[in-house]
Every structure is written in C-alpha cells, then in structure tokens.
Chain A
Amino acid sequence: MEQKTVHMSAAELREQRLKVLYRILPIVSLLLLVALWLLASSGANSNFPTPQAVWERTVRLFTNPVKKLTLIGHSLVSLRRIGLALIFDWTAGIAFGVLLGWCPRARAFFGPLFNAFRAVPPLAWIPLITLWFGAGEFPKVLIVIFGSLASIVVNTQAGLSSVDKMYLDVGTVFNATPKQRLFKIAIPASLDAIFAGVRTSTSAAWMVVLAAEMLGADSGVGFLISRGMDSIDMPLVLTGMIAIGIVGAILAIITQIAERLICPWTRKRK
C-alpha cells in the first residue's frame, strides 16, 4: 500500500488516522471474541469446545468426510438448495410483486391471502410438504421458497406502488404507452426496492435452508449441526455455525456488489 508521508496536512493526517482506526476495529472485535471463547472453554469441566478443538475438527472434516461430503461439499449442497429457491423467488416472486404493486385490482384480490400466507412460518409447512412430496430435494427447496418468497414480493410491491408521480408525469407528457410506463419508468424506479428484496430474500433463504436441514436431511450444513448434536460432537456444531456465518457474509457481499453493478446511480458521491 502506498502511503503519503511527505507534507501531510493536519486534515489528511486526521483522515488517515480514522481510516487506520476503522481497519483495526473489526480485527479487535474478532480477537476479543476468540479471547472470550478461550476463557469460556478453558474451565476445568467446561463442555464448550476450545478454538483448537474446533479447528482440528474442521480439518478432520476435509480428510474424513461425513456422509461422503466435506465441509465444502455440505456448504455447496445447502447453497444449491437456496440457489434453486432464489431463482424462483427472483423470477416468479418479482413478477408477482410487480403485479401486486402496479395493479390495484390484483392487490385487492391476492393481498389478504398473501398476507395470511406470509404470516405462517416456513417450518410449519414441513409436515404437509413431507406428506405430499416425501424427503427428496424438491420439498426442501419448496420450504426455502416458502420462507424467502414473501420478502422479495413485499419489497417489489412496495417499490412499484410508491413510484414517484413526477417520473410517471414525464411518461404522460411524452405519450408513453402503459407498457412503457411500467417497463421504462416504474420498474427502473423501483430497482433499489427490488434489490432490498433480493438481499433480504437471500439471507432469509439461507436461514430457512439450515433450519430445514436440521429437521430432516442427510446433507447440508444444517445436517452437520444436527449430526454434531446427535453424536455430542460440539466441535462439529461450532464448525457448522462458523461455516454458516462465513457463507452468509459472502452472500451478503455478493448481493451488495451486484446491486452496485446493476444500479450504479444509487452509488452516491461523497
């Protein structure tokens, strides 16, 4: 990294110090967490695994797979499930949200039903879905869809129904057709709201898939945690939890980058 050391003004110096501080603070919090962890696990009869035990368990997971899959393999299985669910969310869910937000009649027709549907927690569907579709991949993807669809629909609907009239006025003055008003004005104007839905549906899907896997699956990160629980293998549980945290953070970063690429105008200049 290049650092200016010659003739740095007081303002630049202050800016520089703040930057360094902001870089250090996350590392400090991480170190504190590890210290706390060491403290909690060092007790004589502590049933909480030490960082070292978790690290060794993680390494062993690569050489000694559980159900033929390493940690990466299980993570990919979980990601595949949410990937399939999100493809549905981001096509059908966005389309449904556009319909609800743009067409008051559709809102009046579907609105109450949809509100009742989204009030039911996705895990409550597990008995019915298992009864209908058994225990394959499809029912798991379906549960993830049930748990993540509402956030994208609600955000899209909110965006479409609150498009500023002044943008639509421009369309009126230029004699835009209803289709042009929707595709050239209303949807672009709602893109940031839709993207908020993309972000929340992604994190919701990641939460739901793990819960669904803990309840009945033989692969996925959620399965690793329930396997750890059943065999009193706490290091495995923690390995799973850390993997969840890391993958979740990576997903959040990816959606953020995608938003910046697709909606460059939301990147405000300082």
Chain B
Amino acid sequence: MDEKKKVILKLENICQSYVVGDSVKDAAENVSLEVYDNEFLVILGPGHCGKTVLMNIIAGLERPIGGRVYLDGEEVHGSDKRIGMVFQSLNLMPWRTVMGNVEFGLEVAGVSKDKRRAIAQKYIDLVGLKGFEKSYPHELSGGMKQRVGIARAYTNNPQILLMDEPFGQLDAQTRYAMEEEVLRIWEQEKRTIIFVTNNIEEAVYLADRIVLLSNCPAKVKQVYDLSVLERPRNTTSPDFLRIRSEISDNTDLAL
C-alpha cells in the first residue's frame, strides 16, 4: 500500500439496534470499512438504511451495540476533536450570528477571541459568505445555511469531516452548485470527507470511492473505486452514466 492510501479511519464490525416498542430493530449489521487519508468517501444507501446511524457512531453521538471505531490506529470512544460534522438538519444555533455559529467550536475549545475571529473569517470567506458575518440563520437561504454548517465544521480543523446528507433539503439547482462548492473547498483544504447520500448521481459526481449499503439493516454491499473517472466530472459522459447505472442496478429499493 502506498503513502497516499494510509488508512485514517476504520470501522470494525459495527452493529447497532434499537428497541422500538416491543420489537428490536437492527439499524446496522457488521459494518466494516476503511477510510483513506484525504479521500472523498461517499456512503450511499437507500432511504433510511442506517447511514445516519453510522455517521452518529463515528461522530461519537451514539455508542454502537457492537464493534469498534479506530482513528489513526487507536480505538476511539465517544466524540473526538479530530472528527468534524456537517449535520443533515443544519443545527445552526438561531441565537448566534453567522460568525457566532462558525466560531462556536473554537470558542468551546477556549481559543482567544481575536484568534478565533480570524480563523472563522478565513472559512467564512472560503465558503463564500463574506459580508454575512452578522446575519442570523433565519435571514439566510437554505444553501447559505449549509455553507455556514460547512464553515463551522472546517473551523476546528478536523482531520475527518462527516457530511450527513447535507444537501437533502436543497432544491436541485442549489444542490448542484453546493456539490461543486464542496469539491472546490475539498481541493483547497484537503481533508478526509465522508459524505452520506441517497442520491446516486451525487455520489458518482463527488466520490473517490463509494461504499454502497444495503437496505435496513445497513450492511456493506459493495465498494466502488471511482478514481478512473477524472475530475471535474461530466454527469453526461458515457463513463459516468455507465457507472451510475451499474450502481443503480445494484441498489436496493427503499420501502
């Protein structure tokens, strides 16, 4: 294995289930996967197949019933500073301005005001929100809110960024624009990104590798290496369409 393919995150036999009423519902079953340093990994799966559960486990928001998470070869329990998250539901704090939201992680980490302002400003500029520092979330559009979420996650300089269906609630046009934004930011500020989606086209457009999950409970069905597709990708090129339909045929239908 060459230098570029250093494993930074490893999931080993992750299992998760919940008691729902009188029955036990399995959300994830023996999920094992490796994530390489600085790669753009997309976790693709139908409907509610437990993708968010996997994200929450990696982020330390919930404990798995079984299995282990290794970060840089060490087992991690709970949340870790090296892992940042862009939430599906945005989770911007309505009582904080754009600046207040973006600098939140640094504030919690005890970084001095001047310093955290400077760092937050850098990422606000990077996501294209210069001039909106003093706006409140309710004054922003859906795409702009998502940019705030991305800037907030980057600000604490995590090695791994989890993005849980960040564009699920955006309209198609904004979604395409944001996909390009994420790639641009990723090229500029190389990090490992784990991106969850149920949209096959989005997955093929963004990913270095795609991990395809089965329908509930989530199991790894197949891993696709997309490094053959050159960036920037053309969503109508024959190669793109071929891979897209190949994955599509292999994807379970969500009920």
The reply to whether B91 and A172 contact each other, CB–CB distance below 8 Å, is: no
Segment 134-189 of B: residues with Cβ below 8 Å from A:
136-139, 156
Interface centre among B81, B94, B139 (most CB of A within 10 A): B94
Interface majority SS on B: helix, strand, loop or mixed? loop
Given the interface pairs A169-B61, A173-B61, A173-B85, the reply to whether A264 lies near B108 with Cβ below 8 Å is no
On whether A264 and B136 interact (CB within 8 A), knowing A173-B79, A174-B108, the answer reads yes
Instruction: Say which size band chain B's interface belongs to.
Output: 20 to 34
Q: Which size class do A's interface residues fall under?
A: 20 to 34
Interface residues of A in 163-193 (CB under 8 A from B): 166-167, 169-177, 180, 184-185, 188-189, 191
Minimum CB–CB distance for B169 against chain A, Å: 14
In the complex, whether B59 has a CB less than 8 A from a CB of chain A is: yes
CA A174 – CA B61 in complex, angstroms? 11
State whether B95 touches A175 (Cβ < 8 A): no
Min Cβ gap A235→B in Å is 49
| Interfacial chain B residues near A167, Cβ < 8 Å | 91, 93
Check A175/B87 contact, CB under 8 A, given A170-B93, A269-B138: no
- Please determine whether A174 and B109 come into contact, CB atoms closer than 8 angstroms: yes
B162 to chain A, nearest CB (A): 9
Q: Is the CB of A169 within 8 A of B91?
A: yes
The reply to whether B136 and A175 contact each other, CB–CB distance below 8 Å, is no
CB distance from B62 to the nearest CB of A (A): 10
Q: Which residues of A contact B45 (CB under 8 A)?
A: none
**A265 at the B interface (CB under 8 A):** yes
Would you call B104 an interface residue if the criterion is a C-beta within 8 Å of the partner chain's C-beta atoms? yes
Q: Which B residues are closer than 8 A to A by beta carbons?
A: 59-61, 79-81, 83-85, 87, 89, 91, 93-96, 104-105, 107-109, 136-139, 156
